Amino acid sequence: MKKDKGPELYSKKSKIIIAVCVAAVIAVTALCIILIANGNKTPDKTPDTSSRTEDTSLSTDTEDVSPYKPVDTGVVTDGVDTSKAPTTESSQDSDTAAVRPDDTALPVDTGKETEPADTKEAPSANTGTDLGDGITLVSIEPYSGAFVEDGSDEPVDNIISIVIKNSGDKAVQMIDITVGTDNGDAHFTATTLLPNTSVVVLEKNRMAYPGADKFGAAKIAQIGRFLEEPSFYTDKFDVRGADGTISVRNLMQEDVTGKVVVFYKTVKDGKYFGGITYQATLKGGVPAGTTVLVNANHFRINDSRLMFVRYE
C-alpha cells in the first residue's frame, strides 16, 4: 500500500507561497517608503542670503557734476568770458568784503603815480579820449540803477558814469580819474582792470549827471599797477564759482593755513561793471587735497568773473 504524500506536498507549496508573499510585502513596503520619502522632499526655492549682504553705504567722494571748466587765467579781451564752474563739497564759515584803494590785494608800484601835464577834454558821447598810460576814456553817460561802488547796491537815479579801457599790456590794480563839470570835479575809482578790458565806473559821490555839454577836462589823478601779474596759482588751487558761492580746492600736498582770498568782478554787456572788485575770504585756509566753499554774495555765474587769488 502506497504512502499518501499529499499533506507533505501541500506543506512545501504553502511555505513557498508564504515566502513569496512575505518577499512581496517587504518589496512593496520598501517601495512605498521610498515613494513617500521622495514625495515629502520639496526643493528649497529660497536663496541662501546668510553669506551675502548688500552694500548700501554711499561713497564719501563727491562727484563733480559741473559742466564748466576751471577758470581761465589768461588775458581777457572785451567780450569777457564769464563761464565759471560750480562744485559741491565741504563748507566753512567765511566773510565777504570789497576791494578798495585802501585795501589793495597785491603790492602796488606807488611810485608810478601819473598826473599828465596835459589834461584831456572829456567826450560827451561814445568817442574815445586818450588819458595816457594806456587808458582811454571811452564815454560819459547818465546812469540809473544799483550803486555798486560801495557794495550797498542802493538805487540811484541819473548819476554820472564813465567807461574806461585799459589798452596797455599790463594789468591796472587801481586808478583814480577826475572829470571836470560845471558843478565841480567828478571822481571815479576803478580796481583790477586787466589788459584790453573795459569797465563802467560810477561817480563815487553819486554826483548827478549835469548834461552832455557840461563836462570839462579829464585826467588820471593816480594809477597803480600790479608788481606781479594777477594769478590763480593753478598749480596750487582749483578755483570755481557758483551763484552765491566760490569753491577753492587745494591741489598741493600741504595745508594752506593762512587766509585765501578770491577776487571777482561783475560783468555786463562784455564790460566789467563797477570799479569795485569783490573779494571772498577763507580765513581758516584750505587743508591739502580738500575743497572749501566760501560765501560770495555778489557772485553770479552769468554776471561775474573770477579775477585772481591771493593766499598766505
Mean pLDDT of the chain: 74
Q: Which long-range contacts (CB under 8 A, 24 or more apart) does 117-125 make?
A: 119/217, 119/218, 119/219, 120/217, 120/218, 120/219, 121/216, 121/217, 121/218, 122/179, 122/180, 122/215, 122/216, 122/217, 122/218, 124/212, 124/213, 124/215, 125/212
User: What's the confidence (pLDDT) of residue 286?
Assistant: 96
Helix (H, G, I), strand (E, B) or coil at 181: strand
Comparison of pLDDT for 205 and 96, the residue scoring more: 205
164-179 CB burial, b ≥16 within 10 A, e <16 = bbbeeeebbbbbbbbb
Question: Residue 101's pLDDT band (boundaries 50, 70, 90)?
Answer: very low
DSSP one-letter code for 14:
H
Q: Which domains does the chain have, with CATH numbers?
A: 95-104+230-311 (2.60.40), 110-225 (2.60.40)
Mean of pLDDT values over 133-143 = 96
Which of 70-84, 108-122, 158-172 bottoms out in mean pLDDT, i.e. has the lowest? 70-84
Question: Residue 178's pLDDT band (boundaries 50, 70, 90)?
Answer: very high
**What does the alpha-carbon distance between residue 192 and residue 262 come to, in Å, rounded to a whole number?**
13
Comparison of pLDDT for 3 and 152, the residue scoring more: 152
Question: Residue 58's pLDDT band (boundaries 50, 70, 90)?
Answer: very low
**What does the alpha-carbon distance between residue 181 and residue 175 come to, in Å, rounded to a whole number?**
19
Q: β-strands 215-225, 304-311: how paired?
A: unpaired
Mean of pLDDT values over 146-162 = 97
The answer to whether the predicted template modeling score (pTM) of the entire model surpasses 0.85 is no
User: What's the confidence (pLDDT) of residue 37?
Assistant: 59
Mean of pLDDT values over 1-14 = 53
